[in-house]
Chain A
Amino acid sequence: MAGHNTKKDAGNPILKRLLSSNLTWSVVALIVLIVICTIFDHGFLSLSWNENTGGLAGPLITMLQESARYLMIATGMTLVISTSGIDLSVGSVMAVAGAAAMQFLVSGLNVWLAILLSLLVGLVLGCINGALVSMLGLQPFITTLIMMLAGRGLAKVITAGQNTDAGSVAGSEPLRWMANGFILGIPANFVIAIIIVCLVGLLCRKTAMGMMIESVGINQEASRMTGIKPKKILFLVYAVSGLLAAIAGLFATASVMRVDVVKTGQDLEMYAILAVVIGGTSLLGGKFSLSGSAIGAVLIAMIRKTIITLGIDSAATPAFFAVVVIVICVMQAPKIHSLSAEIKRKRALKSEAKAVTA
């Protein structure tokens, strides 16, 4: 490894660092996708003021609106993955929280109480994950896989198998606003999501929480020997992930005021994991980057928007999605960077040799 690095350091150091940063490639990918969309649909970048909603309107705005839920689950997932765990249940927890909120509204509960209770439900599910992983030492993959299946079932139990619709319930405006409203012209859910990401970031970096999470993810036994209580940390990250998934669930259901017990949050655990990986946090745990995951989350929303804009056949969307993600991951791979450097070096050598023979 050491030998590799010294060979690589020949070029421009700032450019090199930019090129090897995951953030850079995520932003580049984001811009490339926007450019592609603009070529296909010249109105893609256009923004207009919608008098009815009191906010901006346009394809980019709907993309940001959709990204809010990804931001939430990607943030929770980042913390969990940093402890070298995984949370496969976020999509199902979204459905449970959404189902709970809709059902509470339909049964006539005050809207604020409904929001609070459904967040609590998400928190409790996260705590169950955390308790199983930390206290019983179960494998995160299995524990949260079971919660993923159980959560789907629980959502159906809550709504008695119905896709509960709270659209006609009076007094549910605050929840509606959370998903569809605007703050200073910007989608409210996006603003709320960004605020929460910043709060979590501050909590991690201004207290010792971030360092301890990373420490446990890097070396659990060594962390225990320093007096950290790894079990507490593990419990905490799963609990936070559950709570944030519940918020995502509210975003997802409140936009139509209806829960789809099968489709709400479906596959979103994969999107969250992808966002985290694109953001530069290793699946092996350790150092994490919340800003990286946030950009990853927006990128995921952008890929989905691109699929719609390009009018890709619905059957082919998963394949398109996969191709884009693979390309981004390949661009970020350190091996590719050393490989391209190697090719350049060889080319330089060849041209030198040619010059000599000539």
Chain B
Amino acid sequence: MTQNEPIVVMKGITIEFPGVKALDGVDLRLYPGEVHALMGENGAGKSTMIKALTGVYKIDAGSITVEGKPQTFNGTGDAQNAGIATVYQEVNLCTNLSIGENVMLGHEVRGPLGINWKKTHQEARKYLDQMGLGHLDPHAPLNSISIAMQQLVAIARAMVIDAKVLILDEPTSSLDANEVQDLFAIMRKVRDSGVAILFVSHFLDQIYEITDRLTILRNGQFIKEVMTKDTPRNELISMMIGKSAEELSQIGAKKERRAIGADEKPIVSVKGLGRKGSIQPTDLDIYAGEVVGFAGLLGSGRTELGRLLYGADKPETGTYKLNGNQVSINDPHTALKHRIAYSTENRRDEGIIGDLTVRENILIALQAIRGMFKPIPKKEADEIVDKYMKELNVRPADPNKLIKNLSGGNQQKVLIARWLATHPELLILDEPTRGIDIGAKAEIQQAVLDLAEQGMGVVFISSELEEVVRLSDNIEVLKDRRKIAELENDATVSQETIVDTIASNNAGKEA
């Protein structure tokens, strides 16, 4: 492909939220007739970057140029007028209108008596035909077709408004293999008509199939822009996750693996535990005093497996044994009663109860197990709160502060305190160190090791392979919602081992 000028040039984009730099001097160039992917783990700044380009967020520094003209977007309308169209993961069309009305919304064909619906639908059919969607009836209501088809309709709509840039934000996450191929066929058509496509997906196979160029972000920073075909998977993965091992050296080098004795019985033993669309049936044993790491990219099923173990999602298949006894863990309450605790990766939406105090946030899970009408005696409650706030070094040390006013790292410590207060036998920590500063990170990592030392079984889920390798005794490697390997984490295992395991496994491709 002969390269001409880029349509969109974003330079030095910086966006700050109170206390956090979400983006720090990020560059992005979108070329006509190319599919460009934004790559990076959760929190890398992909969606913030998209929101800067679509006018949702105002940029604090940097410049956006569209077709050579500098632009200042004060709202999504400005971005749309500049020719930037977006198709979100959740389709933002009107499901109660017809397909044709959706395609032509705002661009209806007008006659002397208002809108000429017949011509409007004819026009819609023309656009649908162009997209290879001729089999759709423009008169049918939008909600009569699948979500996948609705996404394709949304793309057709983007063509009506004569977009120069099409942004597809995780369009494939809810599609099956055939639907993905339909989408790619249309993406290729749109691309060949000279539109620049910005694509976000966390399925690596799809990235290599459809994209031409990649921009890699990490922790809000621009890492590199590369051509897809020149970049091996290993290299891409290590650019995405980074190697920050040195900064955390105070926790010590990789710990010695805890060997499991032949006569030891696991705390938790699951066989074929799975849930459709979430994770395929998985076998897993977790022993007392062991740290089991779940490694895999975003969307690999690492979180889903953790949620199933806790009953946050109801398992559909498999058996669950707890200290040798068959149990059924269908909701968090039951899990906690069986002394299994899960700390979510989604701290804000599923973790903290923002308007309650630190003290209440620590006690609430223990209280839920005891039942509503058996309050924890004040003295005992004070002791619990005091003990864990000290142990985990929660700052500020005031239990009566609202938790929403604490920093991310301290919120995380309070949540860990909440779960420790329930005296779990198995503690599942999902991304406990995400989005928190280095100091708090080190403290939490140390806490994980200490807990295992005291005989607790710990599941450690993290997108940072370095952490997983350093802390775990065993590592379960997941990819595409499937467990693909179980590694005994001895001296021979490193980040590269895991990356190679993920990169070389193609068996699970859209099974």
Contact = CB atoms under 8 A, between A and B. Distances in A.
A228 B364 contact: yes
A219 B353 CA distance: 6
B355 A287 contact: yes
Of listed A209, A215, A219, A225, residue having the most chain B CB within 10 A: A225
Overall SS of chain A's interface: helix
A128 B266 CA distance: 45
A229 B311 CA distance: 13
B312 A225 contact: yes
Nearest to A214: B356
Interface string B351-393: 1111110001000110111101111100000000000000000
A212 B368 contact: yes
Nearest to B369: A227
B332 interface: yes
Given A211-B360, A223-B353, A2 B368 contact: no
Contact of A226 (B354, B368, B370, B375): B368
Nearest to A213: B372
B230 interface: no
Interface in A204-238: 206-209, 211-212, 214-215, 218-219, 221-229
Contacts of A221: 349-350
Contacts of B344: 225
Nearest to A282: B355
Interface residues of B, number: 32
A34 to B, nearest CB: 34
Contacts of A224: 312, 331-332
Given A214-B356, A227-B332, A286-B355, A209 B373 contact: yes
Contact of B333 (A2, A218, A219, A227): A227
Contact of A211 (B336, B351, B356, B373): B356
Contacts of B368: 212, 226-229
B252 interface: no
A219 B350 CA distance: 8
A145 to B, nearest CB: 22
A226 B360 contact: no
Contact of A215 (B312, B333, B364): B364
A218 B354 contact: yes
Nearest to A226: B365
A212 B372 contact: yes
A215 B353 contact: yes
B338 to A, nearest CB: 11
A223 to B, nearest CB: 7
Given A221-B349, A226-B368, A227-B365, A215 B356 contact: yes
A310 B46 CA distance: 64
Contacts of B351: 222, 225
B399 to A, nearest CB: 14
A159 B344 CA distance: 55
Of listed B337, B353, B356, B369, residue having the most chain A CB within 10 A: B353
Contacts of A227: 332-333, 335-337, 365, 368-369, 422
B342 interface: yes
B352 to A, nearest CB: 7
A99 to B, nearest CB: 33
A262 to B, nearest CB: 38
B18 interface: yes
A215 B354 CA distance: 9
B372 A208 contact: yes
A207 B375 CA distance: 5
Interface in B301-350: 312, 331-333, 335-337, 342, 344, 349-350
Contacts of B157: none
Contacts of B364: 211-212, 215, 223, 226, 228
A3 to B, nearest CB: 9
A274 B404 CA distance: 28
B164 interface: no
B470 interface: no
A222 B361 CA distance: 11
A2 B355 contact: no
Of listed B337, B370, B372, B376, residue having the most chain A CB within 10 A: B372
A245 B24 CA distance: 57
Contacts of B342: 225
Nearest to B376: A208
A228 B363 CA distance: 12
Given A208-B367, A208-B375, A209-B372, A225 B332 contact: yes
Nearest to B418: A226
A223 B352 CA distance: 9
B349 A207 contact: no
A218 B372 contact: no
A222 B360 contact: no
Contacts of B375: 206-208
A46 B333 CA distance: 58
Contact of A222 (B353, B372, B422): B353
A214 B355 contact: yes
A21 B399 CA distance: 23
Nearest to A284: B355
Nearest to A285: B355
A227 B366 CA distance: 8
Contacts of B418: 226
Given A211-B360, A226-B365, A227-B332, 18 more contacts: A207-B372, A208-B370, A209-B372, A212-B368, A212-B372, A214-B356, A215-B360, A218-B353, A223-B353, A224-B312, A225-B332, A225-B350, A226-B332, A227-B333, A227-B335, A227-B365, A227-B422, A229-B333
5 contacts: A212-B372, A222-B351, A222-B353, A225-B350, A226-B332
Interface of B: 18, 312, 331-333, 335-337, 342, 344, 349-356, 360, 364-365, 367-370, 372-376, 418, 422
Shortest 10 CB-CB contacts between residues of A and residues of B: A227-B368, A227-B336, A226-B365, A227-B333, A208-B367, A228-B368, A218-B355, A286-B355, A215-B353, A226-B364
